Homo-oligomer: A and B are copies of this chain.
Amino acid sequence: MKKTTFLYILLLWPILNFGQKKDLNLMPWPQEVEIGKNKLVINADFTIGINQESSKRIELATTQFLRRLANKTGVFLKNGFAQNTSSIDNPTVEVSYNSIAKLELYEDESYQLKVTKNKISITATTDIGIAHAFSTLYQLINNDADFYYIPEITISDSPRFTWRGLMIDCSRHFMPIHVLKRNIDAMALVKMNIFHWHLTDDQGIRIESKTYPELHEQGSDGLYYTQNQIKDLVRYASVRGIHILPEIDVPGHASAFLTAMPEISSVPGNYLIERNAGVFDPTLDPTNEKTYEVLTNLFVEVTALFPFPYFHIGGDENEGKHWDESKHIQQFMKDNDLKTNHDLQTYFNIRLQKILKKENKTLMGWDEIMTDEMPKDVLIHSWRGKNEGFEEGGTQIKAAQLGFKTVLSNGYYIDRMQPASEHYVVDPLSTATLTKAEEARIVGGEATMWSELVTPLTIDSRVWPRTAAIAERFWSAKEVTDVENMYQRLNGVSNNLETIGVLHIRNKEVILKNITNYQNTDALNKLSAISEPFKVYSRNVDGTEYQMYSPLTLFADACTSDAVDVRMFNELVSNYVSKKDEVSKNILIDYLSSLKNINDKLKEISKNAPLVKRILPYAGRISKIANIFEIALKNKNMTKKQYVELIALLDKKENTAINLDVELALTASLKKLAASFFRKKL
């Protein structure tokens, strides 16, 4: 029964480790929380009464809550819909609000929630506040052995930042509308409010244009959103209190655009939709009046679909090679006293700003648009920081100091596949001393999901649950920074997300089944619990290894950041190394022994699964590593020879030709453990 005991310990781990079980899985953590001792038990008589006229948002928030409540608790509610308080006696939940939100920035999103033994009261200024309160209330559903309940609690809550965004790149890989809808549902649960829709890039124009149908017809491989679908999504998001910010990325990232419209390219050529990842040369011609004619018509068409007052023009990563190559563009620059490509791009941006102003839209762009000449009434999207040769923390400090409003994405690039903790510690206001006025210009932040290596099957597990931690950064008080506490709550939030329809957990098994050719997936699942996909763009380094139609159903695609066993393993190693704790030692031995066996199991499975064969070198390496450690722990000793062998094994990389593209996430802890045997000796 050794194995069962071991599994039991694993299951109990969070409880053993973090002391008393935390009852509150709230994320983002509210501004003020006061917990009482009573419980409001969920039973069939649970009802919701609304003090005012309802609104579409209130209707959705209440009905959705009642459905989710019934489905989670198995309680057969007698009344499945909220009613006006005039027509219902003593409702369990009483809802009051003042006005219907217009869905602009700086809207009042605050709410108050008070739960007593037999009554819940929810009040807010706007119906969006009410919707937030129901997200909180859903997260508060708890249970004992016999009942589901909501704990007695008083919450007063409002966001720290007004801009709490998630960008999804739908160009590199097209994401059907239903993928976006379930991500919008998830955003609503963690109180994010801006969905930034990256609609165009080198790899595809994803928006139907009625003025220039050649754009989506020739630039999308047939994968684009119709204007009707866009309207539908805008409505869907709005009812959930979420704005949609569209992005048409110009003048660079234009391969697909110029495939359809070579006549406005900087350099004549036969353009093709790009199939690789990277930064490419095709660029619109900013000296051609036809360019502005096209963009005017396109922007008029697109802005009409999106009520949100901001419009994102991209503007990033234009290296200007085609501008350098073009004689007429060089001449134009001379004629207009534009000294650099940056000056030319600013000229282009200012013309776009004027076009957008006519449509009552504020221009927003990636931080490359922030030049001296750029008017201050545009919104700077700060994406570059230390890694890109700029100051630590990104360009948003400079933007705010220069007088621009700014949104931070540097530090929130979730496609880099870093752990949630690394994004969690990034604060839009953490790195500089700013005046109040400057601070106020930093309107919030955005997580960015670039999709070079992401498909509809895997996007959920790349966005969630990590983005919930980022959402907390944008909503909660600056002081809410305890990483351990965040991870504890994140697990519950992750389960809730899965329950409301996000596929980040369940899709993993589908990938593993495909890899094992529908054989038993336990061994591979165990392997994935200690394996993380290559981070920080070290997968697909030159951009051509994976093309946009390459398989993203490999082992790396089943693995996620924050691999599930890693934090537990790290803790065990710490305990053992620092205290020579015997319990930790025994658990480690069991765990290593089970790792050792993965390879044999996979070998067996590989007899009928070509894709498992690719994983064997990695599993074999882990088996050897686990074996050395198991012996060393049992003997409380490691030979120098074993140590040397071990470090070589830990540092070994698998052949990249097999596209394994994962790293052993236990490596750091294992090195620490290995070193511990020589602390005195070495």
Residues of A within 8 A of B (CB): 7, 11, 56, 59-60, 63, 66-67, 70-77, 80-81, 143-148, 176-178, 181, 221-222, 226, 228-229, 231-232, 275, 457, 492, 495, 498-499, 503, 505-507, 509-510, 513-515, 517-520, 546-554, 606-611, 613-614, 659
Contacts and interface: CB of A to CB of B under 8 A. Distances in A.
Contacts of A548: 80
Given A59-B222, A63-B221, A143-B610, 10 more contacts: A70-B551, A74-B515, A74-B551, A76-B551, A81-B221, A146-B610, A146-B613, A177-B178, A228-B228, A229-B232
A70 B549 CA distance: 8
A510 B499 contact: yes
Contacts of A505: 510
Contacts of A495: 513, 518
Q: How many copies does the complex hold?
A: 2
A203 to B, nearest CB: 12
A549 B506 contact: no
Interface centre among A11, A229, A509, A551, by most chain B C-beta atoms within 10 angstroms, is: A551
Given A81-B221, A229-B232, A75 B145 contact: no
A80 B275 contact: yes
A110 B549 CA distance: 30
B517 A498 contact: no
Given A547-B80, A550-B70, A228 B221 contact: no
B514 A550 contact: no
B222 A609 contact: no
B81 A553 contact: no
Given A81-B221, A514-B499, A75 B551 contact: yes
Contacts of A518: 492, 495
A600 to B, nearest CB: 11
A181 B229 CA distance: 14
A611 B141 CA distance: 14
B514 A145 contact: no
A514 B519 CA distance: 26
A218 to B, nearest CB: 13
Interface centre among A552, A607, A611, by most chain B C-beta atoms within 10 angstroms, is: A611
Contacts of A72: 514, 553
A143 B613 contact: no
Contacts of A608: 143-145
Contacts of A177: 178
Given A506-B509, A549-B67, A610 B74 contact: yes
Given A178-B178, A231-B228, A610 B147 contact: yes
B610 A514 contact: no
Contacts of A56: 222
* Ranked 7 nearest A-B pairs via Cβ: A80-B549, A178-B178, A228-B228, A506-B506, A71-B553, A70-B551, A495-B518
Contact of A178 (B67, B181, B549, B613): B181
Contacts of A614: 74
Nearest to A79: B549
Nearest to A42: B610
A275 B76 CA distance: 13
B606 A145 contact: yes
Contacts of A228: 228-229, 231-232
